[in-house]
A and B are shown apart, each in its own frame.
Chain A
């Protein structure tokens, strides 16, 4: 889901950066209010976890690959806004050092994977887990479904961003200037793939939540007020 440079035109890139600026400001403010100093190492672990889990490319039928992002897991531990910051950190390092995701597309990539993914995933997690006890199995299920849903919703956004390019930018003869595939193909391809990769995200998110329930449930419990 790391959109490279040259696939999105200036309008989409600009709008995405413009959308991320307030998101980063809100995230900073929320994190300032809710993140305790003792949680700072967890923020760092979250950013590093997201970075490294994205290196595990999983092949799917059709000859393409994808990967989990880990954003919902960080959101469950530290709240969606802290996750926004942690995943943004990972995406910036990936783009600058490793050329994974473009510089012009960084705003869009952050919007999809560091904003839409953790925020919608966290919403689904809260919706399903309800008031169930921190150590309940329901929370493991909720975490898995939330990871899956977040990833798929983020892939819809990426598909739409790809897909509007031929409408926005083309030559007089009709050749695309950026991504050449229209909305239908782009969305079907992105979402189709992520309906499958989503199971990796589902497994990762639910397994780590299960591990933490056994290991240190306090990490899962103290985040209620950090949410809204």
Chain B
């Protein structure tokens, strides 16, 4: 089997395993990463929400915020895991598409088949 084939399979396995990245922080009751708090969390930390953070924090409404679906935020860990895996597959597909496009544009022409 070609090495790249194995690496593609590896990516698929990683996508399926991504819910580990949800379970572990939940299990150890870890909060947000440092500097990635929402406005409410920030209020709890310093007693106010900095003006710029309030203004810019909602600047962009990402379609799959937090690797989840709209309205799924409060469903159980099972649903969140499913959304997480779907997000991983979607994200991998888009990264591959964009990188292939850039790579084709940039790579050396003489070795192109």
Residues of A within 8 A of B (CB): 1-7, 9, 28, 31-53, 55-60, 63-67, 85-86, 89-90, 92-100, 102-104, 158, 162, 169, 171, 175-180, 186, 189-190, 193, 212, 215-216, 219
Q: List chain B residues, Cβ under 8 A from A219.
A: 3
Write the nearest CB–CB distance from B42 to chain A, whole angstroms: 8
A-B contact pairs, 23 of them (CB 8 A): A6-B52, A35-B106, A37-B107, A37-B108, A39-B103, A40-B104, A43-B99, A43-B100, A45-B96, A55-B91, A56-B20, A56-B21, A57-B33, A59-B25, A67-B21, A85-B99, A95-B62, A97-B63, A97-B90, A98-B87, A99-B60, A176-B50, A215-B3
Check A104/B62 contact, CB under 8 A, given A42-B4, A65-B32: no
Write the nearest CB–CB distance from A170 to chain B, whole angstroms: 9
Cβ B113 vs Cβ A37 within 8 A: yes
Cβ A98 vs Cβ B67 within 8 A: yes
Cβ A1 vs Cβ B33 within 8 A: yes
B54 interfacial by beta-carbon distance below 8 Å: yes
Cβ B35 vs Cβ A90 within 8 A: no
Contact residues of A: prevailing secondary structure: helix
Cβ B108 vs Cβ A36 within 8 A: yes
Cβ B25 vs Cβ A98 within 8 A: no
B65 interfacial by beta-carbon distance below 8 Å: yes
Contact of A32 among B17, B67, B108, B112 (CB under 8 A): B108
Write the nearest CB–CB distance from B92 to chain A, whole angstroms: 4
Cα–Cα, bound, A94→B63 (Å): 11
Cβ A97 vs Cβ B52 within 8 A: no
Q: List chain A residues, Cβ under 8 A from B24.
A: 57-59
Cβ A3 vs Cβ B35 within 8 A: yes
B75 interfacial by beta-carbon distance below 8 Å: no
- Taking A52-B14, A65-B30 as given, write out 14 further A-B residue pairs in contact, using a Cβ cutoff of 8 Å, ordered by the A residue number: A5-B57, A5-B60, A9-B52, A36-B111, A37-B109, A39-B103, A45-B7, A50-B95, A64-B33, A93-B98, A97-B62, A98-B62, A98-B91, A215-B6
Cβ B107 vs Cβ A59 within 8 A: no
Cβ B63 vs Cβ A177 within 8 A: no
Q: List chain A residues, Cβ under 8 A from B95.
A: 44, 47-48, 50-51, 89-90, 93
Q: List chain B residues, Cβ under 8 A from A177.
A: 50-53
Write the nearest CB–CB distance from B112 to chain A, whole angstroms: 4
Cβ A104 vs Cβ B56 within 8 A: yes
